[in-house]
Amino acid sequence: MRVLGIDLGSREVKIVLMEDLQVIYKKKIGTMTFYRDYCKYDGKVVVDLEKLDLGQVDKAISTGYGRNNIYLNEFKAINEIKAHVYGAIFQTGLSDFILLDIGGQDVKVVKVEKGLTTDLELNEKCASSCGRYLENMANVLEVDLDELSKHINNPVELNSTCSVFSESELIGKIAEGIDMDRLCAGVNYSLYKRLKPMLTKFNGNKLVLTGGVAYNHAIKEYLTNDYKEIISVKEPQFNGAIGCCYYGSRF
Amino acid sequence: MRKIGLTTTVPIEVLLAAGYTPIDLNNIFVTSDNYLKYIDIAEKDGFPKSMCAWIKGIYGACIENNISEIVGVMEGDCSNTKVLIEILKNKGIKTYPFFFPHSHTKEDVEKEIKKFMKCFDVSEYKVEEVRQEINEIRQNAKELDKLTYIDYKATGFENHLFQLCVSDFDGDVENYKLLLEKKVEEIKSREPDRKKIRLGYIGVPPMTGDIFDFVENFDSKFIYNEVQREFAFPRASEAKNIYDQYYDYTYPYDINFRIGEIQKQIKERKLDAIIHYTQAFCHKAAEDIILKQKIDIPILNIEGDKLNKLDARTKLRLEAFLDMLYDISLKEGSN
C-alpha cells in the first residue's frame, strides 16, 4: 500500500510517500512555494496532487500547522502530536521515551509510555525557543546553521527573554570583541536554557530529538545533562510526515 | 442516632451496631457547593498549602458540620490522618483510632476489629446481624457495577457515585437502600450505551468528578472504579464474618495484594487502559512507579489538587491519550 503523508509546517511543507512501510519518496517545499505552486484556488485551497507527480496513492494523511486551513482532497487530517509520536515510534522502534520536537515555530515535548501519549507540553505565547531563533541569530553572525551548531564550549551569556532583543544583545557582544566560537555557543546555549523549563516535568532516560533543530550538535550535547540517552532519528525533519504515513499504513 | 465522622472506610457495621450514624467526611466535603470553603477553614487554621486537599476538606467538613466524634484511620490509609486526628483531638473532638494492619494477616485484622468493637461496646453477634442486613445493599451495588461492565447501561459516573456512597450509605442506611434499589431498576430499563474504549479508574476517588462524563466524549467509558468498588465491598457476601470481609479488602494493605485484584478486573472487564488518579502532595503518587511496572496495559497518571473540575491541561492529556487508544482499538476491531 502506498501512503502519502504531508506535514504542513510553519517554514516548510514536508511530503513523504511510503510503500509497505518503506520511505520511497521525500520532499521539502517552502511553505510559500507550496501554496503558490502546488495548490489550486477554487474558493478554498486545494492541493494539486498531479503537480506533485507521485503516481498512485492509496491513502493520504495530513498534519501540521495548516491542517485545518487547507482542503486536501481525500486526505485525512490527524493532530500533530499524534503524527510526531507515530513518526518517532516508527523511526526508533521504541515505545517508552520523551519526544522533543523543535520546529521553526513550535516546540513539543511529549511523554510516550507503552506507545501512547501520556503527557505533553507545547510552547504557547512565544517561539523564541525554536528554529527560527537560531536562523535569525545565525544571520546576525553571518554563519550558516551548520557552522553555528558546532560551537559548544564556553558560551557567552545571553539573557534576553525576547528573541528580537537577543539580537541586540548579541550585537553588543560582537562589539565587545568576543570571539566567534563563544558567540555561536552562546546562541546555542541560550536556546537550551529556554527549553529547559519545559523539560523539567518530563523525566525519563531516553529523549528522542526531532524537528530541524535536531541537526544542532550543541543542543544535543547540552541535553545530555538531562537525559541518559539522546536518540537521533534518520529523518528528523520528516518525522511528522513519516508519522502520517505510519498512521495511514497501520490504522 | 448520634453522628460520627469517618476519614475513610472503616468497619461501619460496628458503628451501626453501636447505634451511630456514620458520616463519611470525604463525601460531605467533595459534594458540597462550598467545598473550597472547607479547605479555606483548614488553611486559616494553619494547615500548609503543601498538604492534600482531602485532609483539609475533611477537617473543614468536621468543624463546619459540628461533628463531635470521629474515627480516624491511623494505619493503612493516608499518612496525614494521624496529625489530622491529633489536631481534632486538641480541639475537643472525641477521636477513635482504627488500624488496617500493614502485616495483613487474618489474626492482626481480627485483633484490630475486636479492639474496635470493644471500644464501642458491641458484640460480635450484633455486628454480624448488621453485616447480614447491609450485605443486601452491597449486593445491589454489585448489581449496579455489573450493569456498567456487562450491560453498559450504567454510566461511569453512576458506577463511581453509587459505590462510593456505600462508604457511609449517604448518612441514612434505610434511605440509601431504597434509593439504590430504585436506581438499579431504572438503569435496567435503559438501552445499552456501548463505547469503543473500556477504561478503568484506579486510585483515590477524584476531586474532579467531571472526568467520568468527559471521557465519554471520546467514545470511552469507565467500567471499573477500583477504590469506589472496594468501598462497596463486592466480596462481602462470600466472607464468613466481619474479620474475613475486612481482610479481603485491597485498598489499605500492601500494594501487591491490591494489584492482584486490579489485574483480575482488567482481565474480567477486558480493559483497554487505566487512568490512575493521584492527589497533589499525596504519597500515593509514588505508587505509580510500581503500578506501571506491574500492570501491562497503558496507564495515564493524572493529578488533581483543589479544583473540582478538570483543568485544560489534564483535558488535553486525556484527549491525546484517548485519541491514540482509539486508533489501537479500531485496529484490533478490524483484525
The pLDDT score that the predictor gives to residue B334 is 59
Mean pLDDT to the nearest integer, B210-219:
96
Q: How far apart are CA A49 and CA A149, in angstroms?
A: 36
Whether residue A44 has pLDDT greater than 80 = no
Whether residue B168 has pLDDT greater than 60 = yes
Rounded to 5°, the CA angle B320-B326-B332 comes to 145
Mean pLDDT to the nearest integer, A92-105:
95
User: Do the Cβ atoms of B227 and B249 come closer than 8 Å?
Assistant: no
Please report, rounded to a whole number, the percentage of residues in chain B having pLDDT higher than 90. 90
Report yes or no on A9 lying in a domain: yes
CATH number assigned to the domain comprising residue A29: 3.30.420.40
Backbone region of residue B152 per phi and psi (left: phi > 0; alpha: psi in -120 to 50; beta: other values): left
Distance of residue B116 Cα from the nearest chain A Cα, in angstroms: 43
Cell of A151: 560551537
**B298-312 per-position pLDDT tens digit:** 999 999 999 999 998
Q: How far apart are CA A189 and CA A121, in angstroms?
A: 21
**B6-62 per-position pLDDT tens digit:** 999 999 999 999 999 999 999 999 999 989 999 999 999 999 999 999 999 999 999
- Is B323 in contact with A119 (Cβ distance < 8 A)? no
**B120-146 per-position pLDDT tens digit:** 999 999 999 999 999 999 999 999 999
Report yes or no on B219 lying in a domain: no
**Number of domains composing chain A:** 1
User: Do the Cβ atoms of B162 and B183 come closer than 8 Å?
Assistant: yes
Distance of residue A204 Cα from the nearest chain B Cα, in angstroms: 12
Segments forming the whole domain that contains residue B93: 2-119
Please report, rounded to a whole number, the percentage of residues in chain A having pLDDT higher than 90. 71
- Is A118 in contact with B321 (Cβ distance < 8 A)? yes
- Is B316 in contact with A116 (Cβ distance < 8 A)? no
**Number of domains composing chain B:** 1
CB atoms within 10 A of CB A53: 7
What mean pLDDT value characterizes chain B? 95
Report yes or no on B146 lying in a domain: no
β-pairing, A116-122 vs A107-113, is antiparallel
For residue A117, which residues of chain B lie inside 8 Å, CB to CB? 317, 320-321, 323-324
Q: Nearest Cβ partner of B330 from A85, A119, A251?
A: A251
**B96-109 per-position pLDDT tens digit:** 999 999 999 999 99
φ and ψ at B202, to 5 degrees? -125, 160
Report yes or no on A244 lying in a domain: yes
Q: Greatest CA span in chain A, whole angstroms?
A: 59
Report yes or no on B200 lying in a domain: no
What mean pLDDT value characterizes chain A? 91
Please report, rounded to a whole number, the percentage of residues in chain A having pLDDT higher than 70. 96
Distance of residue B94 Cα from the nearest chain A Cα, in angstroms: 43
Q: What is the sign, positive or negative, of the torsion defined by CA atoms of B128, B134, B139, B144?
A: negative
The pLDDT score that the predictor gives to residue B284 is 86
The pLDDT score that the predictor gives to residue B266 is 98
- Is A82 in contact with B323 (Cβ distance < 8 A)? yes
Report yes or no on B284 lying in a domain: no
Report yes or no on B98 lying in a domain: yes
Segments forming the whole domain that contains residue A44: 2-81+240-250
Report yes or no on B11 lying in a domain: yes
Whether residue A72 has pLDDT greater than 80 = no
Task: Tell me the pTM.
Answer: 0.85
The pLDDT score that the predictor gives to residue A4 is 94
Residue position matching grid coordinates 520528516? A238
Q: What is the DSSP-derived secondary structure letter of residue B8? A: S
Strand order in the sheet with B299-304: B220-225, B197-202, B273-279, B299-304
**B15-31 per-position pLDDT tens digit:** 999 999 999 999 999 99
B327 touches chain A (CB under 8 A): yes
Whether residue A164 has pLDDT greater than 70 = yes
- Is B324 in contact with A247 (Cβ distance < 8 A)? no
Report yes or no on B147 lying in a domain: no
CATH number assigned to the domain comprising residue B94: 3.40.50.11890
B85 band by pLDDT with thresholds 50, 70 and 90? very high
Report yes or no on B10 lying in a domain: yes
Mean pLDDT to the nearest integer, A190-217:
94
